[in-house]
Amino acid sequence: MKSQDVRKQFLDFFASNGHLIVPSAPIVLKDDPTLMFNNSGMAQFKEYFLGNATPKSNRIADTQKCLRVSGKHNDLEDVGFDTYHHTMFEMLGNWSFGDYFKKEAINWAWQLLTEVYKIPKENLYVSVFEGNPDENVPFDQEAWDIWKELIDEDRIILGNKKDNFWEMGDQGPCGPCSEIHVDIRSAEEKALVSGKSLVNNDHPQVVEIWNNVFMEFNRKADGSLEKLPAQHVDTGMGFERLCMALQGKTSNYDTDVFTPLIEKVEQITGLKYTSNEVLNISEEQNKTNIAIRVVVDHVRAVAFAIADGQLPSNTGAGYVIRRILRRAIRYGFTFLNTKEPFINQLVAVLANQMGEFFPEIKSQQQLVTNVIREEEASFLRTLDQGLQLLENVVAETKGATVSGTKAFELYDTFGFPIDLTALILREKGFELDEAGFNAAMQEQKTRSRAASEVSTEDWSVLIPGNVETFVGYDQSESDVKITRIRKVDSKKDGILYQIVLDNTPFYPEGGGQVGDKGTLVSANETIEIIDTKKENNLILHFTKQLPENVNVGFVAKVNQDLRSLSSRNHSATHLMHQALRSILGTHVEQKGSLVNPNYLRFDFSHFAKMTETELQQVEDFVNARIQEQLPLIERRNIPFAQAVQEGAMALFGEKYGDHVRAIKFGESMELCGGIHVKNTAEIWHFKIVSEGAVAAGIRRIEAITSDAVKAHFASYENTLNEVKTALKNPQDILKAVHSMQEENAKLTKQIEALVKDKVKNLKASLIAEIQEINGVQFLAKQVDLNPEGAKDLAYELGNLGNNLFLVLATADEEKPMLTCYVSKELVAEKNLNAGQVVRELGKFIQGGGGGQPFFATAGGKNVAGIQQALEKAVEFVK
Ligand code: SER
């Protein structure tokens, strides 16, 4: 069965059992401080379990792109070494939100596996939670009883908290689970060792394929469990492992999810991958296999993350993506001998394979390829430099052990991977001081952990069961009540309080636009709100000071001035997006944006630097629409499909509901949750202030509107006025500047002629001052010339004959300078070197310089040192 069909049958099965099929959420999470990436199917539904939001159906099924590369669930370092772990994988899942529970979930799982997929029952084992007295959670008798109806009792295993109590992270919804494991070993192996004894024992062919979690609890920040308001089901089945079982393979990498990618790597590298069926492979082949698995696994994670809008970078989620890609590049570099970028070529294969189900990878194939190619090229350069530096470290090493601190420096400053360092050292017969390396690493971790420490208390709920409403599209003030409060203590921001209201006019940071600021006002006090952010479905208002009385009514007031400036920048961003697509082409896609009261920043896909004309065209396009005074047409709550059909632009990597909000100004129509002007006239004027590259194929424009444009032009006018005054108020400034330039050129010419004369005269008088010392014609003297004059003079004197060693000092415009000339013969015979001379004498004038052995100069800061420098010059000939 092809993997495409495996996926389809899963979704069809649950659709026929009343489940709504939804698309995968983007792989990169927004608005969730506890999680960087989607690490499980349930992450996007967390708020439904907690009761903070209402699902659109209480039965849902999907396949979710997951990444387990950070936080509680992290498989990164295992990937490649085994045949069944991945960075990115698809998780097939079905959910009940307060609807069905254990009976239905278990029965459907069994029916799908054994009747639809036809996995022989004798290949399956299941596990049930044994209970945990410390947590006060009993043995899961109910699940046991349901399974007993379906499967022999001796195929049911009791599991402990580690294996059979599922938690998404340190906090959040959790509960006991029941796993299904499949034994895909050969009949001979099964006869020798029972499958039951291998469950949960890291056997590559006795693996968990499906986890059914019965969500009943919420893990609080203090570590305790509280009962959730309702009981839910969260299941997750590993798609790639299921394909392995159904395609009769013993490795995920031998399924059609991976074979096309592997074939491409083989074609590029000329190396061969051996399937898991091939036994007794050489050590060399094993290394090749591991490296190929690393590459084909990691390219999926990186490509999908980029397609969902997460570019590799030096911080946060972007850094994790960069590290995954670098791990792949390094395995290629060391074990596949790839010294040129090659991973990017796999994107086409991936797009071909998965583009039908995940269109984001197909439509952004070019961009993803470019970004990966650029990252590869730059990391390969780093590896090259690192190799050189490592050579130096080795050369300086006395003994056989290379310093761990030095290796850490290479790792930390240049991103040179430590295992590569160790490997190269081993090949050269050196050892790495691993303890030293680990100590340096630990020290740095402690430092950065301390810097990023955040402790978040549990909510204190003042009004339970309230679902906060956002009223900010219509109002900037509202009567509110506080529903919950939480204290957050972070090294970065100190102590802050987060407040949730029953309703709020405050816009939470999102869609690039910064969160509103403002106040909460009661009869007795005014509380400053310094920021507003979203966390899943909650809108959090940040304050440094808690109200004295939290139970009274407040008026929430948004700072209108700031909001209005941001909204002008936001609406201008939409117009600019439209302008870019119309002027550069529809390959332009938004790749990130920032909108605040001061300016707007917009990243987009485009392959070349924009020309001055294009930038002007974009400005004109936007300003024309400002002048047309286009009214805002805001449509709330229209069906997603209808909005897109009407031409609204949706972005990859954004999670949209079934019903969306569309913002229209004339022909510009975007799905957007932000705050906008009522009429484009409010933007007043739009001005681009910079354009540049942020990554391969991604450009960035920064621009300003309204008050900032006024300030911008005012500052230009100011400068111009100052220039005018400095030029003594001419009628025509430009003419005045031009005539000054002409005057200047004339004077420069005259000076050059004068200097030439002076050089001639000086030459005549200086010839007499040359002394002979030890067979060298020597002169060291300060002359009243500019640096060019000194150079001319040195050459003039040098041309007179052989054996001249000359040091001239000048102090033109109070800048001391030494000029040294050494005849070629002296360079060869007496080993005199002008470069070395000026470096040493340069110390006296507090400066330095260099040049060639026969001519060099040094500039400095200390005019008073000239005399001493000239006196010392003679020592070179003595
Ligand atoms: N949340 C569970 C898991 O990820 C089941 O979906 O394993």
Could you tell me the domains of the chain? 3-252 (3.30.930.10), 261-396 (no CATH), 455-558 (2.40.30.130), 563-713 (3.30.980.10), 749-876 (3.10.310.40)
CB of 245 closer than 8 Å to CB of 184: yes
Cβ(235) to ligand 1 under 6 A?
yes
Distances (CA, A) of 60 to 13, 23, 111, 306: 12, 10, 18, 27
Taking CA atoms, 605 is separated from 497, 571, 592, in Å, by 39, 20, 10
Question: What's the CA gap between 220 and 224, in Å, rounded?
Answer: 5
Cα–Cα separations (whole angstroms), residue 743 to 723, 740, 811: 18, 5, 26
Give me the residues paired with residue 778 across strands. 771, 805
Any idea how long the chain is?
Answer: 878
Atom 4 of ligand 1, nearest CA residue: 40
Is the Cβ–Cβ distance between 503 and 470 less than 8 Å? Answer: yes
Distant-in-sequence, close-in-space partners of 648: CB < 8 Å, separation ≥ 6: 660, 662, 669, 670, 671
Cβ of 455: how many Cβ atoms within 10 Å? 11
What separation in Å is there between the alpha carbon of 654 and the centre of ligand 1?
23
Residue 429: the pLDDT is: 87
- Summarised one tens digit per residue, pLDDT across range 574-612 is 999 999 999 999 989 999 999 999 999 999 999 899 999
Token pair, residue 428, equals: 């050269």
Confidence band, pLDDT 50/70/90 cuts, at residue 748: very high
**pLDDT value at 675 more than 80:** yes
Cα gap 276→289, rounded to integer Å: 10
| 40 within ligand 1 shell (Cβ under 6 A) | yes
Confidence band, pLDDT 50/70/90 cuts, at residue 3: very high
How would you classify the pairing of strands 776-782 and 771-773?
antiparallel
Residue 33 pLDDT more than 80? no
Per-residue pLDDT, 465: 78
Q: Which residues of 174-190 are buried (b: 16+ CB within 10 A; e: fewer)?
A: bbbbbbbbbbbbeeeeb
Distance from Cα 35 to the centre of ligand 1, integer Å? 15
CA 213–ligand 1 middle distance (angstroms): 7
CA of residue 39 to ligand 1 center, whole Å: 9
The DSSP code for 662 is E
**Ligand 1 nearest-atom number relative to CA 73:** 4
Q: Report phi then psi at 40, rounded to 5.
A: -165, 160
pLDDT of residue 256: 97
167 close to ligand 1 (CB < 6 Angstrom) = no
What does the pLDDT read at residue 700?
A: 97
Task: Identify the pLDDT of residue 243.
Answer: 97
Percent of the chain residues topping a pLDDT of 90? 76
The CA distance from 871 to 841, in Å, is: 10
Is the minimum distance from the CB of 341 to ligand 1 under 6 angstroms? no
Using DSSP's 3-state secondary structure scheme, residue 528 falls into: strand
What does the pLDDT look like over 419-472, one tens digit per residue? Answer: 788 888 887 888 899 999 999 988 888 887 777 777 888 888 899 878 889 999
CA of 212, closest atom in ligand 1: 5
d(Cα 322, Cα 315) in Å, to the nearest integer?
Answer: 9
SS3 (DSSP) at 281: coil
Per-residue pLDDT at 413: 78
Query: Where does the pLDDT of residue 78 fall: very low under 50, low under 70, confident under 90, or very high at 90 and above?
Result: confident
Q: Is 478 in the pocket of ligand 1 (CB under 6 A)?
A: no
**What distance in Å separates the CA atoms of residue 95 and residue 212, rounded to the nearest whole number?**
10
Contact 213 CB / ligand 1 (< 6 Å) = yes
Distance 742 CA to ligand 1 centre (A): 77
CA of 511 to the centre of ligand 1 (A): 29
Average pLDDT over residues 200-206: 92
- The answer to whether the annotation marks 606 as part of a ligand binding site is no
Q: Which of 227, 220, 212, 217 is nearest to 96 (CA)?
A: 212
* Mean pLDDT, range 514-536, rounded to an integer: 95
Does ligand 1 have an atom closer than 6 angstroms to the CB of 42?
yes
CA 39 to ligand 1: nearest atom? 4
Whether the predicted pLDDT of 702 surpasses 80? yes
Q: Give residue 92 CA to ligand 1 midpoint distance, Å.
A: 10
| Closest-CA residue to 331 (of 432, 419, 390, 251) | 419
Place of tokens 């069926």: 277
* Cα–Cα distance for residue pair 705/683, rounded to 1 Å: 6
Please choose, from the candidates 776, 846, 783, 856, the residue with its C-alpha nearest in 3D space to the C-alpha of residue 819. Answer: 856
**Pairing assessment for the beta strands 855-859 and 848-851 based on DSSP bridges:** antiparallel
Ligand 1 contact, 335 CB (< 6 A): no
Nearest CA to ligand 1 atom 2: 236
Percent helix, strand and coil across the chain, each rounded to 5?
45, 25, 30
166 CB under 6 A from ligand 1?
yes
- Residue 830 pLDDT > 90, yes or no? no
The per-residue pLDDT for range 780-819, each reduced to its tens digit, is 999 999 999 999 999 999 988 779 999 999 999 999 999 9
Q: What confidence tens digit (pLDDT) does each residue in 244-286 have?
A: 999 999 999 999 999 999 999 999 999 999 999 898 999 999 9
Cα 93 to middle of ligand 1, angstroms? 8
For 173-206, the DSSP string reads EEEEEEEEEEE---HHHHHHS-GGGGTTTT-TTE
Q: Whose CA is nearest to atom 6 of ligand 1?
A: 236
Cβ(236) – ligand 1 distance below 6 Å? yes
> How many whole angstroms from 190 Cα to the centroid of ligand 1?
28
Sign, CA dihedral 83-86-89-95, equals positive
Which residue do the tokens 């987009």 mark?
Answer: 604
Atom of ligand 1 nearest to the CA of 213: 5
Residue type, 199: V
Residue 186 pLDDT exceeds 80: yes
User: How would residue 676 be classed by pLDDT, with cut points 50, 70 and 90?
Assistant: very high
Matching residue, tokens 């001319």? 792
pLDDT at 164 over 80: yes
What mean pLDDT do residues 92-119 have?
A: 97
Q: Above 80 in pLDDT, residue 742? A: yes
Cβ–ligand 1 distance for 234 under 6 Å, the answer: yes
248-251: long-range contacts at Cβ-Cβ below 8 A with a sequence spacing of 24 or more?
248/184, 249/184, 249/275, 249/276, 250/83, 250/184, 250/185, 250/204, 250/205, 250/276, 250/277, 251/83, 251/84, 251/204, 251/275, 251/276
Tell how strand 494-501 and strand 538-543 pair up.
antiparallel
275 Cα to the center of ligand 1, angstroms: 29
- 463 Cβ contact partners less than 8 Å away, ≥ 6 residues apart: 481, 482, 483, 484, 502
Q: Which pLDDT score, from 0 to 100, does residue 112 have? A: 98
**Spatial separation of the C-alpha atoms in residues 160 and 576, rounded to whole Å:** 57
Reduced 3-state DSSP string for 313-377: CCCHHHHHHHHHHHHHHHHHHHHHCCCCCCHHHHHHHHHHHHCCCCHHHHHCHHHHHHHHHHHHH
Average pLDDT value for the chain: 93
Q: Which two tokens stand for residue 425?
A: 């050292």
- Tell me what pLDDT residue 457 has: 86
Ligand 1 pocket residue status of 504, Cβ below 6 Å: no
pLDDT value for 687: 98
Among 40, 102, 207, 212, say which to mutate for ligand 1: greatest number of ligand atoms within 8 Å of CB. Answer: 40
The residue whose two tokens read 């062919």 is 205
Q: How far apart are CA 544 and CA 632, in angstroms?
A: 36
Atom of ligand 1 nearest to the CA of 41: 6
Band (pLDDT 50/70/90 cuts) for residue 225 is very high
In this prediction, residue 180 has a pLDDT band, given cuts at 50, 70 and 90, of very high
> What is the Å distance from ligand 1's center to 208 Cα?
11
Cβ–Cβ under 8 Å, residues 469 and 501: no
Mean pLDDT of 666-691: 97
Cβ–Cβ under 8 Å, residues 577 and 651? no
pLDDT tens, 330-340?
999 989 999 99
* pLDDT value of position 474: 94
* Those residues with Cβ within 8 angstroms of residue 166's Cβ, 6 or more apart along the chain or in another chain: 174, 175, 176, 177, 211, 213, 234
Query: Which ligand 1 atom is the nearest neighbour of the CA of 91?
Result: 6
Is 672 annotated to bind a ligand? Reply is: yes
- Residue 594 forms beta bridges with which residues? 601
Q: How many angstroms does the Cα of residue 100 sit away from the middle of ligand 1?
A: 17
Rounded Cα gap, residues 201 and 37, in angstroms: 27
Q: What CA–CA distances, in Å, run from 251 to 1, 241, 278, 316, 840?
A: 15, 8, 12, 32, 68
Closest CA to 711 of 676, 687, 677: 687
Question: Which residue's CA is minimally distant from atom 3 of ligand 1?
Answer: 236
- Interhelix angle 866-873/834-842, rounded to 10 degrees, is 140
What is the per-residue pLDDT for 709?
97
Half-sphere exposure of 524 (CA within 13 A, CB side): 7
The DSSP H or E segment spanning 735 is helix 733-767
Rounded-to-integer distance, Cα 2 and Cα 196, Å: 29
117-157 pLDDT tens trace: 999 999 999 999 999 999 999 999 999 999 999 999 999 99
Average pLDDT over residues 612-630: 98
In the reported structure, the alpha carbon of residue 97 is separated from the centroid of ligand 1 by a whole-number distance in angstroms of 15
